[in-house]
Structure 1
Amino acid sequence: MNPRTHFRLVVLYVLVAALLLVLVGRMWTLQVLEGAHYRGIAAQNRTRDIVVPATRGMILDDRGVPLVRNRSALVVSVDRTTLSRQKDGGKTVLRRLAAVLGTSNDEISKRIRLCGPGIKRPCWPGSPYQPIPVEDHVDAKRALQIMERQEDFPGVTAQVQAVRDYPQPDAARPAQVLGYLQPVTQEELDKRTGLKVTGYSGVDLVGRDGLEAQYDAALRGEPGFRKVLVDSQGRVTGTAEDQQPISGSNLVTSIDAGVQGAAETALKHAIDGARKAGRPADAGGAVVMDVQTGRLVAMASYPTYDPGIWTGGISQDEYDALLGKKQGEPLISRVTQGQFAPGSTFKISSVSAAVKDGNSLHGTYDCPGSYNVGNRAFRNFEGEALGPMNLHTALVKSCDTIFYRFAYQEWQRDGGMKPKKNPSDPMVKMARNYGFGAKTGVDLPSESDGRIPDRTWKKDFWEVTRAGNCKGAKEGYPEVAKTDPARAAYLKAVATENCTEGFVWRPGDAANFSVGQGDVLVTPLQLARAYAAMANGGRLLTPRLGVAIVRADGTVVRRIEAPPPKKLPVDTKVLTYIRTALADVPKSGTASGAFSGFDFKRVDVGGKTGTAEVYGKQDTSWFASFGPVKKPRFAVVAMVSQGGQGAQTSAPAVREIWEAMYGTKDKKPILKDGKLPSDLPKMPGEGAAP
């Protein structure tokens, strides 16, 4: 063997020896150093992690009657991930499933597609890695067909699950208060830690509105965890680990189902009556509040809807109807999100401001048919002149011109068109003290602020709208002029004024403000809160719906308390004077017709009508009340958009609510001795009937 060949063999032996050493070393690393790690990976290849959703807690009224509960249903779900691994993308499986369920392949395909821009419902708004329910009313026979033939239905499951049920006790259907559930999104899942969600997990739902969203964490509970063994075809062969879920707690609310049902019925009666009289009456709200605690007893909103529509998926037509103006946007709560000019119900704030500003509480003031504010005459309602009167009568008869005078004189003292450096603006400040222009802090999401306009707001609004106003001042409104020349001329004049000096707080702004008109906007809840503060002696309470979080066995997890109340900067003598005046409104004032024949001995009610003008629409109808007058316990407010005069539409609705709560000679009262339950109710069993 020549030297060159020998050298080559040596090099080959060295390379082979080196490769063997590397191989042995790698085997030692895999089996010894990293053995535990790879044994875990191997185990994972034959196991699947399953998230077991917890049973969601119920939402109860103040007596323990379920407003929202659960019912068991056989739910068929489809796993998109498993279907995607099929040769045909799962089309064959879906055709088989459609045949079993008695539906079309197209319908199932729509239900499992992901929602996105341009995608109409039904579609899946949750995580793409969650099982997607396609049928929640399947019978046991069809469910067995699916589960016994898993080889024909890979990625399809049929399980008994708890779904939300809305029993509507005493005809109570506070949909906007309760809220609704929707599948968890992938973004939300990504934020969660601890449990690995796979295609075998249950459907996780979260609250999207109302109490379901506000108290979601307590209601949802804690999901369980199950690690199951599977064979090569993904069939479950056993359980490796099992951690049971912890059911969600129940939420006890201050809503009384009886009063809630009565409020919804009264509001519907008022709207139907207004429509029969030829008024649009397109929306409304009613609220009952405990003036001593701030607890909300009833919150009715119209139009409303059946919250059960969300269960099992929602069609595009149904979804559009909930959001569309054609159906009145029923998802919106008119109590907490609806913003309307309050009209004369606002005068409790204006009286308080006028007296605090130096006007005599017991003085006599003239009530002419009109009052000149600057160079413009502001008229009383229907131009009626009522002559000299005190503030008591001004509230009972609802004289506007007295309040115009107060506002105009205050505006002049502040410097008029050239205000002094720190204008007092007493009516604006008092309105804010009554809680207007800010969220009440109620334990519901998406509450509106309302609007209390002032000099700063006027300037900011002018800057935003100046370009449009100046364009209208220059070009006019030719399209409007084709059908309504007078309106087009009016709009051009307004645009010209707003373009040049729209930032100025004019005397008309102050005058309109004093009677709850112009740019003033409030929610029915804000008005109820203000009347509660007036009735209870000056404590501005934070409204609350939640009373306690309670486990199914009755254990109290926590009681839900409201923040300490604020104090109204109004003398108690002034508040007493206002209450005494408002007590006469239903007896001899503007609401006397609506309360004719009312049993004031059973419950003495005081209140104030409000009729707010809205440009281009019919008047907004209001009635705000409190009672019993001597020992106030409740504030009841009703509002109907485009409902006409307060005395004609809203006052009868409020009367109906009071009579339901306290009864009449022909009807038993909902409240026993005019009181609500003082203790927490006993917990009903899951799925208990109301």
Structure 2
Amino acid sequence: MYPFRFKIIFVFFVLFFICIVVRLFQLQIIESDKYKGISKTRRIATYPLDSTRGSIFDRNGKTLAIDQHAFDISVHYKNLLYCSITRTKKTIPRITELEVHKKTKKLCRDCHENQEIWLKKLSQLLDIPQTKLLEYTDEAIEKVEKLKQNMERKYGRAIRIKEETDFYPVVSDVAWEKIIQIETKQDDFPGIRITPRPERIYPEQTLASHILGYLGKLTEDEWKFQSNNWSNFILASSAADNETPSLLYDGYAENDTIGRTGIEAYYEDELHGLRGKKFEEITCKNTQIEKTVLERPPIPGNNLYLTLDSQIQTYAEKSLGTNLGAIIVMNPWTGEILAMASNPRFNPNTIQKDFRKLIEHPSKPFLNRAIQGALPPGSIFKVITAAAALSSNAITTQTTFECPGYLKYKNILFKCWSEYGHGFVTIEDAIPHSCNVFFFETAKNLGGDTLYAWAKKFGIGEMTGIDLPHEKAGNMPKLATIASTMNVSIGQGALLTTPLQLVRAYAAIANGGTLVHPHILLKITDPQGETVQTFQPKNKQKLSLSPDVINILRTSLQDVVTRGTAKDKGLDIYKVAGKTGTAETGRHKDNHAWFIGYAPYDKPEYCFVILVEHTPGHGGDIAGPIARELMSYLFPEINHAS
């Protein structure tokens, strides 16, 4: 029985094998010409589909950056080539040397009249002169022909390169009404392709431009780098058995844009998205699309919600006015940046047009002074000196020094800002009246190593880790001599700080001794609006400040407003606690004016810093009124009550 069954199975497999061989013979020998013809006349063309970049919103959902679709009209290379030849009388050697061209007596226009239809139709529809439409063809033709020559020289034979089958843009930002007319009458516009292109829009113009940043085209090196990253991503996805069909998506295109500064740059990977692909079957003879074989839609980028409050940001920028400088408003408990103004600003909508003018401007509009402006802090650093001295018992609340208006140390004369001095001063008077001599004497007791260590604890000379690119660390110098320690104790010398470092340090006094992590991101959502990530602070640090020291500092900062260097500036009604600062630049009547503080002092809601660069005035006179205007915006209910 079994041998018989085996014979049946064997016969079945033999017949099956014979059928396969016969079919292969039919396809490859008998019908070979048929399929060769099909393969020669038809090709599968792949076209990228641009992804939409993720939007950026403020904490209340107000749109700060969004992609809108713009439409370009592109023309197939063959149409561009022959249209340019017939119109401009230019000769292309590889075409004129063909036998068919040598034998014919016809003009190019007679043979290739159909290649001009797009030009006539498009000119009529868009009301653009034909010569204007042809302006963009020369660069594309020169590029393709040069590449073709190089490839044929390399391989020693005629080669059809991919670039000959591409479409090249001739008109940008075409009105939607015109696009509809072309799409509904495609037969009237042969060789034309509508190319949707995402265009980045910043609805609020210059608002928070340093925070948002701007986009720029990839350089050749950057594109190679991104291409390598994409290749590595595909390999990693394959190794991890990722179900995403990466071959159906693309990373960056050669002429793609990328975030250059601000949030656009820092969160580029979240915002960019994945480009899709369209696979089309085309007829090689006339490059007509037969059908779409497969279309994989692009994946939009994720959306970002920022900690910024657009209204407070507007207030901050208005308060700063035309002054060269910066304002930061931060939540002292969470580190959320509610506003970060830097002036001068730029408009990211017109960055391509204005870039050269902006980059060469002496006031450096691209500089985010809030995180990149490293300057001497002046007297607002005295609070850190006081915290270090009180915590290390170098002084107490009973320690008294006499201020005659100067202090002579060895052969160096250290001056107080008050020519006549402040008399006998304790720490509780030294901070409100900003007595230099008191802090010179304190520095001698404190020593350079201790002051350096405490400044580092407060984050001075260190990057805060904010989620913005290009933050500066400033400089907290090693204090090898008593003289240098005395100079730094009042915020001068080689000491350089950023406004963000200082507002973070004062927030620690406002919140009871915690050094928070400043940040701009609130959360990330996917295109469907689902939250995929919320910001997680990384480096909150508890400073070793006793409650007694914190209370002394807080009381002294309140006194600055009520009886000290910020008296009569209109800040007391808002319960502001703060410190003025005037940092000398070394040039006559050229200072950096500071005011830093928090409000209300009994239950802080906001911690803020104001910087005005290169002004002849002092901190209280210049930055004080700006602080008053900012407070009037932040606490409108107090304005009405008063």
Q: TM-score range by the shorter chain?
A: 0.7 to 0.9
Q: Tell me which of 255, 260, 272 is aligned to 2:313.
A: 260
| Correspondence for 1:499 | none
Provide the C-alpha distance between the structure 2 equivalents of 1:88 and 1:592, rounded to a whole number of angstroms.
79
Provide the C-alpha distance between the structure 2 equivalents of 1:43 and 1:635, rounded to a whole number of angstroms.
71
Task: Assess if the C-alpha contact under 8 Å between 1:252 and 1:549 holds in 2.
Answer: yes
| Correspondence for 2:422 | 386
Matched, 1:295 2:336: yes
Distance 1:395 1:109, change over 3 A: farther
Structure 1: runs of 5+ lacking an equivalent: 1-26, 115-127, 272-282, 412-423, 456-504, 670-690
Provide the C-alpha distance between the structure 2 equivalents of 1:240 and 1:298, rounded to a whole number of angstroms.
50
Q: Comparing both structures, which one devotes a greater share of its residues to helix? A: 2
| Correspondence for 2:209 | 175
| Correspondence for 1:346 | 381
Give 1:586 shift: 1.7
Matched, 1:608 2:579: yes
Give the structure with higher Rg (CA): 2
The AA in structure 2 aligned to 1:253 is L
Task: Assess if the C-alpha contact under 8 Å between 2:249 and 2:296 holds in 1.
Answer: no
Deviates more, 1:517-526 or 1:158-167: 158-167
Give 1:664 shift: 4.8
| 1:228-627 pair list within 5 angstroms | 228-232=280-284, 233-268=286-321, 271=323, 283-310=324-351, 314-315=352-353, 318-326=354-362, 328-363=363-398, 364-411=400-447, 425-454=449-478, 505-595=480-570, 598=571, 600=573, 603-616=574-587, 618-627=590-599
Give 1:566 shift: 1.1
Provide the C-alpha distance between the structure 1 equivalents of 2:356 and 2:141, rounded to a whole number of angstroms.
19
| Correspondence for 1:222 | 274
Provide the C-alpha distance between the structure 1 equivalents of 2:640 and 2:333, rounded to a whole number of angstroms.
27
| Correspondence for 1:631 | 603
SS for the counterpart of 1:558 is: strand
Task: Assess if the C-alpha contact under 8 Å between 1:368 and 1:385 holds in 2.
Answer: yes
Task: Assess if the C-alpha contact under 8 Å between 1:225 and 1:242 holds in 2.
Answer: yes
Q: Tell me which of 26, 36, 55 is aligned to 2:52.
A: 55
SS for the counterpart of 1:622 is: strand
Matched, 1:648 2:598: no
SS for the counterpart of 2:278 is: strand
| Correspondence for 1:13 | none
Give 1:111 shift: 9.6
Deviations 1:244-296 (A, max 9, x none): 22222211110000000000000116x2xxxxxxxxxxx21110110100110
Give 1:188 shift: 4.1
Give 1:73 shift: 2.6
Task: Assess if the C-alpha contact under 8 Å between 2:67 and 2:201 holds in 1.
Answer: yes
Structure 2: runs of 5+ lacking an equivalent: 1-23, 91-115, 143-162, 232-245
Distance 1:629 1:44, change over 3 A: farther
Distance 1:399 1:90, change over 3 A: farther
SS for the counterpart of 2:488 is: helix
Task: Assess if the C-alpha contact under 8 Å between 1:172 and 1:264 holds in 2.
Answer: no
Give 1:236 shift: 2.5
Deviations 1:420-466 (A, max 9, x none): xxxx61111111111111110000111111111115xxxxxxxxxxx
Task: Assess if the C-alpha contact under 8 Å between 2:57 and 2:65 holds in 1.
Answer: yes
The AA in structure 2 aligned to 1:401 is V
The AA in structure 2 aligned to 1:294 is G
Distance 1:234 1:80, change over 3 A: closer
Task: Assess if the C-alpha contact under 8 Å between 1:77 and 1:157 holds in 2.
Answer: yes
Provide the C-alpha distance between the structure 2 equivalents of 1:110 and 1:506, rounded to a whole number of angstroms.
69
Give 1:568 shift: 1.6
The AA in structure 1 aligned to 2:381 is F
Provide the C-alpha distance between the structure 2 equivalents of 1:201 and 1:183, rounded to a whole number of angstroms.
10
Q: If the length of structure 1 is used for normalisation, what is the TM-score?
A: 0.70
The AA in structure 2 aligned to 1:181 is L
SS for the counterpart of 2:318 is: helix
Provide the C-alpha distance between the structure 1 equivalents of 2:641 and 2:311, rounded to a whole number of angstroms.
12
Provide the C-alpha distance between the structure 1 equivalents of 2:417 and 2:75, rounded to a whole number of angstroms.
64
Task: Assess if the C-alpha contact under 8 Å between 2:301 and 2:526 holds in 1.
Answer: yes
| 1:201-212 pair list within 5 angstroms | 204-212=256-264
Larger relative contact order (CA 8 Å, sep ≥ 6)? 1
Distance 1:351 1:565, change over 3 A: same
Provide the C-alpha distance between the structure 2 equivalents of 1:145 and 1:202, rounded to a whole number of angstroms.
30
Give 1:78 shift: 7.5
Provide the C-alpha distance between the structure 1 equivalents of 2:203 and 2:181, rounded to a whole number of angstroms.
31
| 1:180-199 pair list within 5 angstroms | 180-185=214-219, 186-191=223-228, 192-193=230-231, 194=246
Give 1:159 shift: 3.2
SS for the counterpart of 1:330 is: coil
SS for the counterpart of 1:649 is: helix
SS for the counterpart of 2:401 is: strand
Tell me the percent identity.
30
Task: Assess if the C-alpha contact under 8 Å between 1:371 and 1:377 holds in 2.
Answer: yes
Distance 1:380 1:111, change over 3 A: farther
Task: Assess if the C-alpha contact under 8 Å between 1:286 and 1:299 holds in 2.
Answer: yes
Task: Assess if the C-alpha contact under 8 Å between 1:50 and 1:201 holds in 2.
Answer: no
Deviations 1:79-130 (A, max 9, x none): 899968998699899998899657957985899899xxxxxxxxxxxxx999
| Correspondence for 2:152 | none
| Correspondence for 2:100 | none
Equivalent residues, number: 539
Provide the C-alpha distance between the structure 1 equivalents of 2:55 and 2:334, rounded to a whole number of angstroms.
24
Give 1:614 shift: 0.4
Q: If the length of structure 2 is used for normalisation, what is the TM-score?
A: 0.75
| Correspondence for 2:243 | none
Deviates more, 1:389-398 or 1:658-667: 658-667
